[in-house]
């Protein structure tokens, strides 16, 4: 798609400013919001998204050049080489992942109201900051639900919702680990400190424990239900590892579960109380990531297969 085609799709004449372009885009997405990803509207919505991204990138490029014509992409006199064709999604892929997943995009009307989500690409794409993290988790939840639905045809009797949700949560968690590149994500979310990463974390304190003092060292004590419990030097469990940035939970905890991390944890500050009334203490966490083996990826795939097989025969 070139700029001329993109302007035609969006109904632009080249004189619009950024606000007008966004308003026309939202109006079109409102008119062509698909009910399902296989509809003609879905294909048109994908074209509208591609056109909008191309026009806005060109607009921003012109604005950053500071030229007199930066208000209009059409009037730009800057000479640039032609760009390659737009790809639906350009993130790195994990070819060994159990299955592909959708890349989801939130749709808004021209007043900014959320209308839902559409699928703009599908593949074994690793998460990057270009993808809204809530949309990333939603894509994995929907993928897990699809896997479960295929494993147990509707003609079978329905399982209690609490059982289905347990399988859904377990498979979603396993898939999350396959679509997050620990090193790539830590490079974006953490501070690089020589051969390790420094992360601001917390220890959610167990009820009745003596709060650890600032400067004291904590150690991993074991994992239960995807929670990493921590102990003090005397061996007493003080609480479990937590993060103010929820994205780090899906990066750090799997590293411990797969025995791929070496860590050092030091209590950074005095005890505080969070909005739920629980006590926590800030800790400085240093992580060194160990090499990944292909066998570990296959192990996760086997865990997913086993869960689907068990789910298919649940209740028989």
Is the pLDDT at 98 greater than 90, yes or no? yes
Q: For residue 38, what pLDDT is reported?
A: 45
CATH number for the domain that contains residue 58: 1.10.287
pLDDT of 272-294, one tens digit each?
877 567 889 999 999 998 876 65
Range of the structural domain that residue 62 is part of:
3-75
Query: What is the pLDDT confidence band of residue 264, given thresholds at 50, 70 and 90?
Result: very high
DSSP 75: G
Q: Identify whether 147 is part of a domain.
A: yes
Same domain, 152 and 113: yes
Q: For residue 42, what pLDDT is reported?
A: 57
Q: Identify whether 255 is part of a domain.
A: yes
103 vs 314 pLDDT, higher one: 103
Q: Identify whether 230 is part of a domain.
A: yes
Instruction: Name beta bridge partners: 204.
Output: 240, 280
CATH number for the domain that contains residue 262: 3.30.70
Query: What is the pLDDT confidence band of residue 124, given thresholds at 50, 70 and 90?
Result: very high
Contacts of 52 (CB under 8 A, 6+ apart): 6, 10, 21, 25
Percent of the chain with pLDDT over 70: 81
Q: How many domains is the chain partitioned into structurally?
A: 3
Average pLDDT across the chain, whole number = 81
Is the pLDDT at 302 greater than 90, yes or no? yes
For residues 51 and 43, is the Cβ–Cβ distance under 8 A?
no
pTM over 0.75: no
Q: Identify whether 87 is part of a domain.
A: no
């Amino acid at each position: 798609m070139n700029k001329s085609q993109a302007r035609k799709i969006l109904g632009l004449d080249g004189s619009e400013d950024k606000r007008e372009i966004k308003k026309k885009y939202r109006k079109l997405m409102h008119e062509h919001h698909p009910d399902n990803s296989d509809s003609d509207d879905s294909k048109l919505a994908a074209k509208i998204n591609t056109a909008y991204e191309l026009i806005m990138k060109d607009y921003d490029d012109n604005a950053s050049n500071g030229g007199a014509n930066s208000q209009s992409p059409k009037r730009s006199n800057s000479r640039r080489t032609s760009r390659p064709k737009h790809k639906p999604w350009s993130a790195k892929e994990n070819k060994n992942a159990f299955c592909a997943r959708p890349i989801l995009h939130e749709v808004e009307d021209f007043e900014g109201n959320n209308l839902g989500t559409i699928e703009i690409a599908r593949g074994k794409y690793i998460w990057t900051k270009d993808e809204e993290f809530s949309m990333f988790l939603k894509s994995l939840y929907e993928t897990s639900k699809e896997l479960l639905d295929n494993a147990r045809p509707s003609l079978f009797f329905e399982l209690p919702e609490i059982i289905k949700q347990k399988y859904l949560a377990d498979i979603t968690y396993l898939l999350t680990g396959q679509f997050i590149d620990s090193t790539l994500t830590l490079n974006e979310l953490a501070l690089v400190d020589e051969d390790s990463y420094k992360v601001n974390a917390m220890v959610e304190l167990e009820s009745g424990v003596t709060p650890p003092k600032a400067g004291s060292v904590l150690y991993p004590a074991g994992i239960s239900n995807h929670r990493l419990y921590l102990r003090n030097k005397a061996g007493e469990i003080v609480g479990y590892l937590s993060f103010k940035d929820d994205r780090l939970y899906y990066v750090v905890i799997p590293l411990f579960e797969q025995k791929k991390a070496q860590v050092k944890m030091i209590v950074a500050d005095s005890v505080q109380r969070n909005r739920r009334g629980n006590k926590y203490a800030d800790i400085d966490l240093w992580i060194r990531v160990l090499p990944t083996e292909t066998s570990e990826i296959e192990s996760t795939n086997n865990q997913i297969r086993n869960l689907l097989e068990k789910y298919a025969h649940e209740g028989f």
